[in-house]
Structure formats: structure tokens, C-alpha cells
Amino acid sequence: MPLFIQGHRKDTAMKTETDFARNLTKFLSEYLPHERCFSPKTVTTYSDSFKIMIRYIRDITKISLSRFTLSMFTPELVKDFLSWLVDSKGNSASTRNNRLAAISSFAQYLQYQEVGLIAQWQSISAIKALKTDRPSISYISVEAVRLLLEQPDLSTPKGRRDVALLALMYDSGARVQEIINLRPADIRITNRPYTIKLYGKGRKSRIVPLSEQQCSLLREYMLEKRLFDEDKADYPLFCNKWEKPLTRPGITYLLQEYVRMASAIDKTLFPANITPHCLRHSKAMHLLQADVNIIQLRDFLGHVSIQTTDVYARAEGKKKREALEKAYADTNPEILKSKRDWEEDPDLLEWLERNK
């Protein structure tokens, strides 16, 4: 192709690129993942929100995308789009608010990129979310955790992997993606204090203490898989039979299989639908019931805002009925030959005290 034709096409493309398209591209591809360190999942969620809004602009407002500029990105357009989501698309208030969160974040970004229209961006950022019913916290009792962890068949490699996985998810209060991201290099269980390093939302890391009981399970699993070898420091901690990292659907499936088995023994202990996040909720609630300070709980869970953690305090309306040792004690299966008293295993208390 002749060079002058190539150049002509490039110039044409540049002319059709609007300031809205240019800024949105930078927001999604540079600002969110690199400056804000948002996870790929969050970036995808934000991107999906703008895909829907762009279709609304094209199909409902009948504005050509090649002519849509930042000056047209007004509070009125955003409000109309949000109303369309609820009234025409039948979206819930929660979904509508999620779309608004993406748009507001973009408007806040524009306040520093396109200052000539700063009042417009501030007006968009000021659009209020709709009130929604707070979802109830789904969690299970310590007795249910204990029964759940008794279900894997410890005579098989899969069963030993699964009990180490499920016990670690509960003991650390980790999100499922944090468990998937774990590598042997993140584990410190050869000397006290026993800890793991979790990489949470926004790629922020935190150190979480582990109990002696949990370490016994994890240590046996890692020895069996030779995960203490130096050449395996960056291997996934938990793999499937093809040596590939476990996935969210995979972990959800195995958890629900063991819940089904445990429910056959005592169905009163488990909710109708249980997800991996339920184990995180359960750990948080057990610590809260054991009088752990809400600030300490926030740090343990890796929340940025205390308001996020406060949902557990609102959910706990009953009288606190367990001491802190009950949050850890006796939740692991019979593979553990002896039980440690809490006073002999004070790592969590020490960690919480240091991180007040």
C-alpha cells in the first residue's frame, strides 16, 4: 500500500477521534489499571458500564459516536441514561448504582484532565445513588465450619488439598481471588509467627496470621506437593489435576460439593446457597462475636473503609456468645492429633494488638 494512502487513512482516523473517546480510552487502559491499580475484573466491569452507555447514546439519543464530545457528556444525559436503565431495561437499583459508580469515577478523572468543564464533571459526580436494601450477610457457625472440613476424604491427594484449601479460606478470611493468587513464596509457616501474604483489591497486600492448626494442614499439603522447593516458589499454591491454577468456578464447585455432603448430615447448619465468600463472612462474624475491635477486623479483612467492615457489626444483632478462641478452636478435622489451647497459640491476638 502506498505510503501516502496510509498517511491519509491515519489522518482521517485522527479527525474522527473525539475528546470523549480519547479520554475514555486513557481512563480505562491507563488510569484505572496503572495509576489506581484496579484489578482486571474491576476494569472490565467499568468497561461494560460504558459499553452500555455508548449503545444508549447511539441507539436512543441517535448521536453518532464519531460526533460525541465531552461537551455532550452532561449531567442531564447521565441522569437520562440512568433512568433508562431502570425504566426501560428493568435494571435494579443496585445495578443502576454500579453503572453510576463507573461514570462518577470517569467524571472525577476528567476534573484533572479537562479542567475547562470542571463544573460539569462535579455535577456528574454529585449525582446520588438510589437507596437499596442492604443484603444480608450469609455466614455459617463454627460448628458448621467444623462439619464442612470433616467431609474431604483425607486418604486421597484431592481430599488433602481440599481440606487445606477450605481451612485456609476460613482461617485467613481471604477472598477467593486472593486464594487463587497465592504462591508458596507468600507462605511463612516454618517459623513463628505463622503468616501468609494476601494480594487484595487494588493489588494491595496485607499480612494475615495463621493458627497452629491451619499450619499443620497447610504444611502437610505443601510437603506432599513439594511446594517448599525453591524452584516452586512462584507456582500456584492450589492446582487442579492438570497442574493448572484453580478457578473461581472450580473452587465454588468443590465447596458446594462438600456443603452438600455436610448438609446430608445436618442440613440446619447451612444456607440454601453458599459461596466461597460465605467463609470470609463467617470468619468475620466469628471474630466480631468474639469481641474483636471493628478497626482490627477491618485490617484483618483488608478493607479500605471502615464503612465496609461495619456491615458485619450491623448484621450481628445477637448477644456476642463466643470467646476469641472459639473463632479458631476445633474447626479442623480429625487429621489433627492434638488441639492447641488459644493461650498456647496467641498469634492472632498479638497481630491484632500490633495493628491497632
From the list 109, 139, 221, 312, the catalytic residue is 312
From the list 280, 283, 286, 298, the catalytic residue is 280
The yes-or-no answer on residue 8 being catalytic is no
Q: Is the Cβ–Cβ distance between 345 and 332 less than 8 Å? A: no
From the list 146, 188, 201, 326, the catalytic residue is 201
Return contacts of 42-47, CB within 8 angstroms, 24+ apart. 42/201, 45/98, 45/102, 46/102, 46/105, 46/106
From the list 197, 277, 326, 340, the catalytic residue is 277
What is the rounded CA–CA span in Å between residue 127 and residue 123? 7
The yes-or-no answer on residue 22 being catalytic is no
The x, y and z cell numbers of residue 258, run together, are 462438600
Q: Is the Cβ–Cβ distance between 328 and 348 less than 8 Å? A: yes
Judged by DSSP in three states, 155 sits in: coil
Q: Is the Cβ–Cβ distance between 111 and 122 less than 8 Å? A: yes
What is the rounded CA–CA span in Å between residue 196 and residue 184? 9
The yes-or-no answer on residue 34 being catalytic is no
The yes-or-no answer on residue 281 being catalytic is no
- For residue 129, give the DSSP letter: P
What is the rounded CA–CA span in Å between residue 127 and residue 75? 8
Q: Residue 188: which residues within 8 A CB-CB, separation 6 or more? A: 194, 195, 196, 197
From the list 175, 206, 281, 298, the catalytic residue is 175
Active site residues: 175, 201, 277, 280, 303, 312
